[in-house]
Amino acid sequence: MTASSPQQTAVAAVLRDRRHGRRRALRVSLVLSVLLIAVGAVSLTLGAAGVAPADVLAALVGRADRLTSFVILELRLPRLVAGALVGACLGMSGALIQSMARNPLASPDIIGITAAASATGSIALVWFGLTGLALSGVVLTGTLAAAALIYLLAWRRGVSGYRFVLIGIGIAAFCGGIVSYVLTRADITDVQQALVWLTGSLNSVDPAALAVLAVGTVVLLPSALAVGRPLGTLSLGDDLAAGLGVRPERTRLLVVAVAVALAAIAVALAGPVSFVAFLAAPIARGLLGRGSLALVPSALLGALILVVSDIAAQFAIPGVSLPVGVVTGIVGAPYLLWLLARTNRIGRGG
């Protein structure tokens, strides 16, 4: 019997970890799905016009009276679906980018992806008055262009995580300047509308944008699972991954493209909701164990975070409906500070 080479041992360990990880991911995903359904069901009963659970069910199956059906099907259900889809897209986007860059700071919030969406979206909203499908198209185009620029500037015979993050932060600052310029040159009523969108809000869900988001989610989530599959092999190193049939740069480029598209369609509807992409993936990986990609749990956790945050935004202060981005910002900012302190303490601040 011949001894196994280090490469064979590493590959065997990866395959064993993958089998164990898939079983654990299935259990975690089921629990998160149940929690998401339960929280969603509760959200449909809440509001100024309280609706009993039995009446909610009757509305969903088409047996409720006209007023109850209107409240559930026209007002609350679209908001719930929008929140779940936006959170799922942002959670999956964050998981892809963080896994690709192997850096917990590499989320769409930090590296300029949502900032680029904010810049293009504010221009489209304030200067051209675009909404719905047109706004989605402009945001997607601008975000993909910014992501391509970040990738090209970060590429030096490959893309390293820290360079990707630092260049993304610079692009985010530039886009923030564009947003400030647009707002200072706009009419006060346009500024008010844009600021709500820039904070991240589900208070007014556009049906056309929701349709675009739903179709995009159906297409992009399976695509994300497909392009994300080789990321586990890439963690072994580019040379070994190439020996196993994975093309490192092509894989990274596809991952960035899908992750950016997911973030863009979410931002087009709800605005740049902060910290959902940043929080979902690390928490999901913590539930699954170190080294897991946690793509599906990240999507489910992102949806759960945003739905719970939206409930808090609506009802935490009686009589005041806050943009959901206010709540996610309050939750996410302390985590960012803790992460920065932790990475500096263990010598990984760069």
DSSP state of 76: I
**How many angstroms separate the CA atoms of 257 and 208, rounded?**
23
**Cα-to-chain-centroid distance, residue 71:** 28
The pLDDT profile of the chain, 350 residues, written as one tens digit per residue, is: 444 566 566 556 655 666 666 788 899 999 999 999 999 999 999 988 788 999 999 999 988 889 999 999 999 999 999 999 999 999 999 999 998 888 887 888 888 888 998 899 899 888 888 877 788 888 888 888 988 898 888 887 766 667 888 888 999 999 999 999 999 988 888 888 888 888 899 988 888 889 989 999 999 999 999 988 888 777 666 667 677 667 777 888 888 889 999 998 999 889 899 899 999 988 998 888 766 788 999 999 999 999 999 999 999 888 888 899 999 999 888 887 887 777 656 555 44
pTM: predicted TM-score of the whole model, two decimal places = 0.87
**Cα-to-chain-centroid distance, residue 166:** 20
User: Rounded to whole angstroms, what are the CA distances from 34 to 56, 89, 176, 304?
Assistant: 18, 19, 38, 10
Is the CB of residue 292 less than 8 Å from the CB of residue 25?
yes
Report which of 34, 33, 75 is spatially closest to residue 51, judged by C-alpha positions: 75
CA dihedral 310, 215, 89, 32 (to 10 degrees): 70
Q: What is the pLDDT of residue 309?
A: 96
**How many angstroms separate the CA atoms of 225 and 170, rounded?**
29
Burial class of residue 238 in the structure, from the number of CB atoms within 10 Å of its CB (0-12 exposed, 13-18 middle, 19+ buried): middle
Tokens 């609506």 correspond to: 314
**How many angstroms separate the CA atoms of 128 and 113, rounded?**
22
Is the CB of residue 186 less than 8 Å from the CB of residue 194?
yes
User: Rounded to whole angstroms, what are the CA distances from 22 to 16, 137, 293, 317?
Assistant: 10, 36, 10, 41
**How many angstroms separate the CA atoms of 344 and 281, rounded?**
21
**How many angstroms separate the CA atoms of 44 and 79, rounded?**
10
Give SS3 for 203.
Answer: coil
**How many angstroms separate the CA atoms of 51 and 80, rounded?**
15
Is the CB of residue 72 less than 8 Å from the CB of residue 64?
yes
Beta bridge partners of 155: 159
Q: How many residues does the chain have?
A: 350
